[in-house]
Amino acid sequence: MKRVMILNGPNLNMLGIREPHIYGATTLAEVNASCEDAAARLGLKLAFHQSKGVLVDLIQSARQDADAIVINPAGLSFTSVSIMDAIKTFEGPVLEVHISNIHARDEYHRHSKISFVATGVICGLGPFGYIVALHAIANMK
């Protein structure tokens, strides 16, 4: 059974409240529940986290605790060399997920540092992007 760690960056705990015109009305708890359902159907073991301060620690722990990572680094996507460097030490697939289409946003929100080290990037599909990522991981060899 593949082990998948889903990591969410800062402010994603405010989904459904913060800028619903960009991120929608779905809460992070609802995202977690839909990911749990999808993981069970796909035969994946899921660990779901949200943090602003320990993402690097969680990525490093994934070296022993996970076979794949799905990460929505949120605002840290555009600024965090530390997260990028931590991902470089992980040997499994890493899928970067964004709820909004970052390429259609303002200049500051278009260039993710994490994309340079991610296996793939999913953006603009709303919370369903997490489910797409789980399906992709389930089908990877």
Q: What is the pLDDT along the chain (141 residues), one digit of tens a residue?
A: 999 999 999 999 999 999 999 999 999 999 999 999 999 999 999 999 999 789 999 999 999 999 999 999 998 999 899 999 999 999 999 999 999 999 998 888 888 999 999 999 999 999 999 999 999 999 998
Residue with tokens 């991610």: 118
Which residues is 45 bridged to in the sheet? 3
Give the global pTM: 0.94
- pLDDT, residue 105, reads 87
Q: Is 21 a catalytic residue?
A: no
- pLDDT, residue 132, reads 98
- pLDDT, residue 52, reads 77
Asked if 89 and 63 count as a contact pair (C-beta separation under 8 A), the reply is yes
Q: Is 98 a catalytic residue?
A: yes
Residue with tokens 């070296």: 63
| Residue ranges making up the domain that contains 132 | 3-139
**CATH assignment at residue 65:** 3.40.50.9100
Residue among 23, 49, 109, 130 flagged as catalytic: 23
- pLDDT, residue 53, reads 84
Total domain count, the chain: 1
Residue 26 to residues 22, 30, 53, 90, 105, Cα–Cα distance (Å): 11, 6, 23, 30, 20
- pLDDT, residue 109, reads 80
Residue among 21, 49, 98, 111 flagged as catalytic: 98
